[in-house]
Amino acid sequence: MEVKVFSTPTCPYCKMAKEYLSSKGVEFKDIDVSGDESASEEMVNISGQMGVPVIVIDGEPVVGFDKSKIDSLIAGS
């Protein structure tokens, strides 16, 4: 399972999402979009959204901290 979390250091929902993934034992790549223009563009191309967090689980984007969608994608992997 490949998981990426597009986030910023000041976003409380990003922090909650990363803590939630860690609590489930899910390894992820944390991508800070606050100072990385190419990462920010990648996030927008994937999700169509400017807001964080955007979590990508095996190519499926989850916009925001949506526990039920995260759980269903993790379970399907």
Q: Quick check: 58 and 77 in contact, CB under 8 A?
A: yes
Measured distance CA(5)–CA(18) in Å, rounded = 8
Q: Quick check: 55 and 3 in contact, CB under 8 A?
A: yes
Measured distance CA(19)–CA(39) in Å, rounded = 21
pLDDT value at residue 67: 96
Domains of the chain plus CATH, in order, are 3-75 (3.40.30.10)
pTM > 0.85: yes or no = yes
**Is pLDDT of 77 > 90?**
no
- For 7-54, how does the pLDDT look when each residue is reduced to its tens digit (9 = 90+)? 999 999 999 999 999 999 999 999 999 999 999 999 999 999 999 999
